[in-house]
Each structure stands twice: as C-alpha cells, then as structure tokens.
Amino acid sequence: MAKLTIPPPPDRRRFRQRLLTWYQRHGRDLPWRKTDDPYHILVSEIMLQQTQVDRVVPKYVEWLEKYPTMTALAGAPDAEVRATWYPLGYNIRPKRLQSIAREAVAKYGGELPSDERTLRSFKGIGAYTAGAIRSFAFRERAAILDTNVARVLFRVFVAAGDPKSHAMKRHLWDVAEALVPSRHGYDFNQALMDLGATVCVARNPKCLVCPMANGCAWRTAPAPEP
C-alpha cells in the first residue's frame, strides 16, 4: 500500500470550495441545524447513531418537548426515559444520554463543557460526538469522522487499502483535521455529512452528481487560485 499522506493545501482548498458550494444548494433542512444548544446537539447526535434521519426527526422533536434541558432529563424516571425513546432501538443510548445529563447537572451546572478533554470524559461521548458538539454547538474548529465522512474522505483522498483498519481510521482522522477550514467549519462539517449520506453512499454512489468533478478523480482538475 502506498504511503498515507495528508492532502496538500491546493487539494484542501479545492475540496472545501466545491463542497461548500454544493452544500449551499443541497444541504438538508434538519431541526438540529437551527440551534446551537449543546444539549440539543447531543440529543441529535446520540439519536443519529445507527438510525436513519427520517426516523430521528419526529423523535428529536418529541424528546425535547418532554425533556427540554439537561436538568429535566436528569430528573426523569429511568423507565419513562426508555419508554420515550421507543421505537428508536439500541436502548443503551437513552441510558447513556441520561447518564451524561446527570453528570452534567452534578458537575457542570447542567451544561456541557466545550473542551474536548472534558467532553470525552463523559461515558458515551467519543471522539466523533465531542467533535460534533464543539463544531455545531460551540462553533469551534473541530474535526468529525463518522461512517459517512470516513467513506467520503477515503474515496476522495486514499482510494486504496483497508478503510476499516486502525491505521486507516487514524489517517482519516488526520485528513479530517487538516481539511476543517478556519472559517465556516460548521457548514463544512455539515456538508461532509450530507455528501456522505446523500451522494457518496455506501452502495451505488451517485458519482455523476458528485461535486467532486468526475467522481473521485477530481484531484486531476486544476487547483483554484488561493
């Protein structure tokens, strides 16, 4: 396998430009994109784990009507929380979400901290979720790498090797961190997720409408001016 390298600056700029231009026209209208409340972002991210967006949207709205704050969730009976979660499945998720809420109430006044180290100290908040909260709630420059994003970055910037290997996952994290722009990081990360979810899908990717011209051969195109 060829040596794994970080995309050079011209490739990063071209990728960002094309992705953000595409997102302006094709970005999805989702309720959690209309808030910067860290708790609301957390709820959406936990719900979206292994669950399709169209199933999450109505449950997200219902959940926040019933538990609008960390404090409300922390004080709710466990059985009620499990029942409210139904029918999303993977029922460890509401338990973890309530555990995070209780810890946040006990240690941080019912708020989520913004720094990565503290966020990842919560059981149930891993590297991706911490990055999502920092990017989407606090508007910090933070990388994200979920299944959809990893697929996009692998196809565009690597295209060979085992995408599931530990070394490849670590490399894709490095690529994601290098790509996040200093400005518009929120839109960039949302766009990455949308591209992976709607165009660069696992089976039958829609390469003909991909913003990366000629599918994943976009790297052969001339670089735009800095």
Is 60 in the same domain as 130?
yes
Judge whether 177 counts as a catalytic residue.
Answer: no
User: Which contiguous run of DSSP H or E holds residue 110?
Assistant: none
CATH number of the domain encompassing residue 181: 1.10.1670.10
Query: Could you tell me if residue 23 is left (phi over 0), alpha (psi between -120 and 50 degrees) or otherwise beta?
Result: alpha
Q: Which domain holds residue 195?
A: 9-28+143-220
In a domain, 3, yes or no: no
Of 102, 136, 170, the one marking the end of a domain is 136
Cα-Cα-Cα-Cα dihedral of 91, 77, 36, 127, to 10°?
Answer: -40
127 phi/psi in degrees, rounded to 5: -60, -45
Of 75, 107, 136, the one marking the end of a domain is 136
Of 84, 104, 136, the one marking the end of a domain is 136
Is 126 in the same domain as 157?
no
pLDDT, tens digit, for every residue of 16-64? 999 999 999 999 999 999 999 999 999 999 999 989 999 999 999 999 9
- Active-site entry in 45, 62, 111, 177: 45
Is 107 in the same domain as 166?
no
pLDDT, tens digit, for every residue of 119-142? 999 999 999 999 999 999 999 999
Contacts of 51 (CB under 8 A, 6+ apart): 88, 89, 90
The pLDDT of residue 215 = 54
Is 80 in the same domain as 154?
no
Q: 212 to each of 54, 188, 196, how far by Cα in Å?
A: 26, 14, 12
Q: Look at the chain and report how many structural domains it folds into.
A: 2
Is 130 in the same domain as 209?
no
Mean of per-residue pLDDT scores for the chain:
92
